[in-house]
DNA sequence: GATTGGTGATAGTGTTACTATTATTAAATA
DNA sequence: TATTTAATAATAGTAACACTATCACCAATC
């Protein structure tokens, strides 16, 4: 049986729904590859248009600017991640095992569900690590937050906070611990790949494995 | 007695030492105000030149680009912060109190030492919270790291890691916990000001006070 | 058969991120 | 005092970026 996972993204993020046409899907798909390759700062709509074989103007009919395109991509990722969390936790009763599963999902490359994924998930992973904080660390935070573009991220944070409360109902900072885990999973992976002295990763140790071990240890020291 | 604190910044960061002239000091000082006001993305050398009453070309004689100017500013901050940590910890024996002091320094506005500070420290604080991760979350991370521009940050991380080890010599992740604390102190402050749902901050509760309480609780749960 | 919607092609504007040149002035040195 | 030098101001210019606008074309649909 063939199926495709779709996650609806807030329609304030785009001008035209990129899911609604081949060009739209190409824009998102190739943007992921290009941002992964050259980084968000060097990424431009002109380069993307050239890559796709279309024009800048056509891309502007889908997204107002590259910031919103990045938000779109990250929202897709966060929605997918929350889907995976929900899916994998469905039959788990033990909250300790739930937390372990969540940390695995936060640190390892996400499963390329069914092999027929729309987007390159390992690339997405790297983009999330390196670029995700750039969507909110801006002066316009208030306006973009009012457009509810961070809902998938907040939902994910909330889901994890609830699992934290299952483990320790009296813990006073479930949301902060949750957002700290998510953010730490990104920056510790970045650090253990590029700025090793900021971590305790061993040479030859895989970044994702190291970070998973660190975060698991951390959570179970906090909640015991 | 009048004195000024000086922190030597790696000379690979600048073309001409901004400490060496009035214009240089103006560039750094006004850059802090302008970045604080309009944010790093909107900040340009042209606007800065206009603000100072000089020309773009003159600024380019001091800094190759705005990224390196930001690195310069952050390095000054990190050096100052480490100085304060060292200074305030000098006569403290109890490692628990040391950690508490460090967390206070990480979360509260830094003391405007002696009132005769070169730069606007409260502004610097905000800049660190919002802009600091942008200096390393770039594709060029390898090259800029080789220029040793992150030394003050790594030193600070190391200093805090050593205090962590004083508290629990067997703790296996002192550097990761240290860098997590530093980063969390930034993003939790940002979240509790702008994306409250990602934290457990109460309405009307001061962000810095909340974050200090959260981080203290966290550290002492991890190291007990 | 006429209308509509999506795309391509092309052009143009204002801004950003620089580089280069030349003139002016102040300080250092002969 | 005259002369070199160094720092800055003034100006100009370029390539890339971040858009906006217009028009022609084609395919689907009413």
* Per-residue pLDDT reduced to its tens digit, B91-128: 999 999 999 999 999 998 877 766 567 889 999 999 99
**Structural domain contains residue A48:** no
A154: nearest CA partner in chain B: B198
**Structural domain contains residue B38:** no
Q: Is A92 on the interface with B (CB under 8 A)?
A: no
Would you say B218 and A181 are in contact if contact means Cβ atoms under 8 Å apart?
no
A159: nearest CA partner in chain B: B198
Q: Is A148 on the interface with B (CB under 8 A)?
A: no
**Structural domain contains residue B164:** yes
pLDDT of A112: 74
Q: Which residues contact B19 (CB under 8 A, 6 or more apart)?
A: B6, B25
State the CATH number of the domain containing residue A154. Answer: 1.10.357
- CA–CA separation, A32 vs A14, rounded Å? 16
**Structural domain contains residue A181:** yes
**Structural domain contains residue A210:** yes
**Structural domain contains residue B180:** yes
Q: Which long-range contacts (CB under 8 A, 24 or more apart) does A56-65 make?
A: A58/A23, A59/A27, A60/A15, A61/A15, A61/A16, A62/A14, A62/A15, A62/A16, A62/A18, A62/A23, A62/A24, A62/A27, A63/A13, A63/A14, A63/A15, A63/A18, A63/A27, A64/A15
Q: Determine if strand C comes within 7 Å of the CB of A65.
A: no
- CA–CA separation, A186 vs A196, rounded Å? 14
Interface of A with B in 18-77 (CB under 8 A): 38-39, 41-42
Q: Determine if strand C comes within 7 Å of the CB of B170.
A: no
CA of B47 to C1' of C17 (A): 13
pLDDT by residue for chain A (224 residues), tens only, comes to: 445 566 666 778 999 999 999 999 999 999 999 999 999 999 999 999 999 999 999 999 999 999 999 999 999 999 999 999 999 999 999 999 999 999 999 998 877 766 667 899 999 999 999 999 999 999 999 999 999 999 999 999 999 999 999 999 999 999 999 999 999 999 999 999 999 999 999 999 999 999 999 999 999 999 98
CA–C1' nearest nucleotide, residue A68: D18
- As ranges, strand D nucleotides with an atom below 7 A of a protein CB are 7-12, 16-22
Q: Determine if strand C comes within 7 Å of the CB of A139.
A: no
Instruction: Spell out the SS3 assignment of chain B.
Output: CCCCCCCCCCCCCCCCCHHHCHHHHHHHHHHHHHHHHHCCCCCCHHHHHHHHCCCHHHHHCCCCCHHHHHHHHHHHHHHHHHHHHHHHHCCCCCHHHHHHHHHHHHHCCCCCHHHCCCCCHHHHHHHHHHHHHHHCCCCCHHHHHHCCCCHHHHHHHHHHHHHHHHHCCCCCCHHHHHHHHHHHHHHHHHHHHHCHHHCCCCCCCCHHHHHHHHHHHHHHHHCC
pLDDT of B72: 97
Q: What is the mean pLDDT of chain B?
A: 93
Q: Which of B82, B176, B180, B189 is nearest to B128 (CA)?
A: B189
**Structural domain contains residue A164:** yes
Cα distance from A15 to chain B (closest Cα, Å)?
23
pTM of the model: 0.94
- As ranges, strand C nucleotides with an atom below 7 A of a protein CB are 6-11, 15-21
B200 contacts in A (CB within 8 Å)?
A: 172-176
Domain range holding B116?
A: 74-222
Q: Please check the confidence at residue B217 and state whether its pLDDT lies above 70.
A: yes
**Structural domain contains residue B19:** no
Q: Count the domains in chain B.
A: 1
């Amino acid at each position: 049986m063939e199926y495709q996972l779709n996650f609806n993204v807030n329609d304030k993020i785009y001008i035209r729904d990129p899911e609604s046409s081949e060009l739209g899907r190409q824009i998102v798909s190739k943007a992921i590859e290009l941002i992964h390759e050259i980084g968000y700062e060097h990424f431009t709509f002109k380069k993307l248009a050239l890559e796709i074989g279309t024009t800048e103007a056509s891309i502007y009919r889908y997204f107002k600017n590259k910031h919103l395109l990045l938000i779109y991509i990250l929202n897709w990722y966060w929605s997918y991640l929350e889907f995976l969390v929900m899916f994998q936790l469905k039959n788990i009763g033990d909250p300790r095992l739930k937390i372990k599963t969540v940390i695995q999902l936060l640190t390892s490359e996400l499963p390329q569900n069914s092999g027929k994924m729309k987007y390159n998930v390992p690339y997405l992973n790297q983009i999330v690590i390196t670029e995700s904080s750039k969507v909110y660390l801006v002066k316009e935070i208030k306006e973009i937050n009012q457009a509810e573009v961070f809902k998938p991220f907040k939902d994910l944070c909330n889901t994890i906070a609830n699992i934290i409360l299952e483990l320790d109902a009296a813990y006073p900072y479930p949301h902060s611990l949750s957002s700290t885990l998510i953010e730490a999973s990104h920056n510790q992976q970045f650090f253990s790949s590029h700025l090793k002295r900021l971590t305790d990763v061993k040479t030859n140790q895989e970044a994702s494995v190291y970070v998973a071990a660190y975060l698991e240890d951390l959570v179970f020291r906090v909640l015991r």
